[in-house]
Structure 1
Amino acid sequence: MNSVDTKPMIPQAEYAKKLREFLPSEAFLPDSSKVWILLINLLILVSGWVIATDLNQWSVYFLWLYLPLALLMGNSVIVLLFSSHDLLHGSVIRNARTAHFLSLLGLTLLWMPPTLWKTLHNRVHHNKTNSIDDPDRNYLFQQPRTWEKWIQHCFAPSDEVSTIGLTLGMATAWGIYAFRNLVSVLLFNSSSVNFVPAAFQVNRKTRRTIAIELLIIGGIHLGILAYLQFQPLKLILAYFLPIGIGYAGIIFYVYTNHMFRQMTSVNDPLLNSVSLRVPKIFDLLHLNFSYHAEHHIFPGINSDYYPFVQDLIKTHYPDRTYILSAGEAWYLLLNTPRHYKDEMTLTDWSGERSISCPVLHPNSK
């Protein structure tokens, strides 16, 4: 586990070129049925807010009955991100304007303008995955100890994080992630910004669009709060609790995607990413998001075909097939430091203790 993985890097495009011929043409056609997944989950959230308007009339002894609905609403927050993610990758519908509008609705509870997401995730993260220029990577030890680096140190899973910090972080880290990128782009828009792992810039038109979308998102949130009459009980059970549950589910996937993998100068998804084994119900609910290395090879295909892609990887790249259970991935996160000393080495906040990025055992079965 502590030895260095010395496999040569293979560019994402090379994987895609080799495996493309084995995939059916249907895998690359848009699957418009997934629009209904987004709409159904929006309806679940709206229904939860409608029911919550009467919470102040419930006996205190029966308020617990709302908790299963809050859990269901939290899952809807997760699904809205993943369905919007697929929309903006073009695998659901081809009409860009319709996809953009639907994703604005889907990303509202995530405080993520879709125009920012297309830049941050589609353009930058996917092309520079876990490299020095990836805004989603761990911070380098050498980077300044800014407010956001300190927050990630206190909240992200590592062998240094406290139980309280981790608990708070699971419910809030997504919001902090969105906030830091919004501040970076809207207030500075400079490559010299040092409170994000890697800063990126957008043009004036894109920046203006992001600002307008953020105002729309803020207006929708304000509307929800007003509908719940700004009453603490309703806000806690029907707004903050579902959002916190949703953020925790999302950030679990985000943390396990790349954070204990090595940095790569070449975008090699089988070295810088990891796929998870999760109960099938979660793959069904979350649009196969656990197949993350497969997604990085083919970001625009129908997510129903990711298991097929995984089988192809096992066949053609058996020595690079890394699939961990969710428990195994979480164990690695909690037993490694969370800062990069170099591409192959993780180190702690002080820089005094270092370990090699975990080398995973290939799983071709």
Structure 2
Amino acid sequence: MKSPKNLNTLDKTETPILSEETLIHHSVYVKKLRPLLPSDAFEPNSSKLGLLLINIAILLLGWGIAANLDRWSVYFLWLYLPLAVIMGNSIIVLLFSSHDFMHGSVQKKSRLTYPIAFLGLSMLFMPPTQWKNLHNLVHHNNTNSVADPDRNYLYQQPDTWGKWIQNLFVPSVEVNPLWLIVGMAGSWLVHNFRNLTSVLFFNDKSVDYVPAAFTVSQKDRRTIAFECLGIVGIHLSILFYLEFNPIKVTLAYILPIAIGHAGAMFYIFTNHMGCRMTAINDPLINSMSLRVPKIFDLLHLNFSYHTEHHIFPSINSNYYPMVQELLQIHYPGRMNLIDAGEAWQLLMQTPRHYKDEVTFTESSGTMAVNCSIVEAYKSRS
């Protein structure tokens, strides 16, 4: 096992762990900040629907060009790689724009909401009804608590296949670099597969191979099953269009999906995994926002402002910077806001299981790292 780098340079006692009494509930932030924001911030921004459709068009264009790759000289196939990267970014944008769409910040609910969300999430293999239950209802109401399916596993949880794969794939002090590369491209699929099978096959909170099992109504369960069939149909259609040709499939299907999923997972890994657990839903403590180059905020709809999103899930994402400014004015030094590179370094230098709400440990349970290590990073940024 690798030893944690630079952990001894961080004074883990300089910022005390917050007790449950010092946590602030999400609703308190909302009550404080909502009157300070313009009413326009809470109006749907339909321009992002156009962004979603543009990126679907980019994918269609990429597959159209790929249909002729068998006519290209092998020496020129590398010219397709920049397009594959652009297609990968389009998959990231589809996730983040669909994410905003499902929260109601793009347009008010209409007959178009469902089919657009279905198309937007299909490249992520995510049924929109599953997303509504998992993300909007469960994750946002139980962020980084024992009941959150998106949290790290507890050390005390059984060593199931789900826990083993996550320990193998996710950034941590003990991850193998080669498995981390696989994990960047595959962790979204593993996360999705775990939750889908938990709901479709069992729909019981006793399921132990997910971090936290949740249930859906029988109607939603049937809808999720049909949506899965529809998504499989879309992906099979793409593969048929590419004639199952190994070169076409590799360059225009596998590579863009791998790039897109890896890019999305960079954000998702840092959203909460480096933070402590909280019994009280305090987004400034259980979530993390990143400082990234402005081009990425422009491309990815300000997804780096994740704490801000957890306070106002349905706000127009263009106003996240304003929310951040208000948080820094009214709650100075409280939120987890660090550079993206430091956030990644934090994940790579700490274990990925919770020994308790405020302590990280690794798969063997021999290490004990205070979750407030994020505070030490934050104070140096």
Shared fold (TM-score, shorter chain, > 0.5)? yes
Match of 1:28 among 36, 42, 53: 42
Instruction: Answer yes or no: is the 8 Å Cα contact 1:347–1:354 preserved in 2.
Output: yes
TM-aligned CA deviation for residue 95 of structure 1: 2.4
Alignment correspondent of 2:276? 262
Alignment correspondent of 2:158? 144
TM-aligned CA deviation for residue 99 of structure 1: 1.7
Q: Which amino acid aligns with 2:375?
A: L
Cα displacement string for residues 248-282 of structure 1 (whole angstroms, at most 9, x for unaligned residues) = 00111010000010000000000000100001010
Aligned 1:300-339 pairs, distance under 5 A: 300-339=314-353
Cα displacement string for residues 195-216 of structure 1 (whole angstroms, at most 9, x for unaligned residues) = 0000000111010111111111
Match of 1:286 among 295, 300, 310: 300
Q: Which amino acid aligns with 1:79?
A: V
Q: Which amino acid aligns with 1:360?
A: E
Match of 2:255 among 236, 241, 250: 241
Match of 1:99 among 102, 107, 113: 113
Q: 1:149 & 1:245 partners in 2: Cα distance?
A: 24
Which one is further off, 350-359 or 301-310?
Answer: 350-359
Q: Which amino acid aligns with 1:69?
A: L
Q: 2:255 & 2:374 partners in 1: Cα distance?
A: 37
Instruction: Answer yes or no: is the 8 Å Cα contact 2:43–2:105 preserved in 1.
Output: yes
Using a 3 Å threshold, how does the CA distance of structure 1 residues 159 and 50 change in structure 2: closer, same or farther? same
Cα displacement string for residues 305-337 of structure 1 (whole angstroms, at most 9, x for unaligned residues) = 000000000000003132111100000000000
Instruction: Answer yes or no: is the 8 Å Cα contact 2:274–2:374 preserved in 1.
Output: no
Instruction: Answer yes or no: is the 8 Å Cα contact 2:336–2:374 preserved in 1.
Output: no
Alignment correspondent of 2:230? 216
Alignment correspondent of 1:6? 18
Q: Which amino acid aligns with 1:87?
A: F
TM-score using structure 1 length: 0.98
Alignment correspondent of 1:346? 360
TM-aligned CA deviation for residue 5 of structure 1: 2.0
Instruction: Answer yes or no: is the 8 Å Cα contact 1:323–1:363 preserved in 2.
Output: no
Q: 1:57 & 1:98 partners in 2: Cα distance?
A: 39
Q: 2:122 & 2:173 partners in 1: Cα distance?
A: 33
Q: Which amino acid aligns with 2:37?
A: L
Q: Which amino acid aligns with 1:270?
A: L
Q: 1:179 & 1:359 partners in 2: Cα distance?
A: 30
TM-aligned CA deviation for residue 363 of structure 1: 6.7
Alignment correspondent of 2:375? 360
Q: 1:96 & 1:251 partners in 2: Cα distance?
A: 30
TM-score using structure 2 length: 0.94
Runs of 5+ consecutive residues of structure 1 not aligned to the other structure: none
Q: Which amino acid aligns with 1:352?
A: T
Q: 2:379 & 2:126 partners in 1: Cα distance?
A: 35
Cα displacement string for residues 117-168 of structure 1 (whole angstroms, at most 9, x for unaligned residues) = 0000000000000000000000000001111100010110000001101000
C-alpha RMSD of the superposition: 1.3
Using a 3 Å threshold, how does the CA distance of structure 1 residues 236 and 356 change in structure 2: closer, same or farther? same
Q: Secondary structure at the match of 2:375?
A: coil
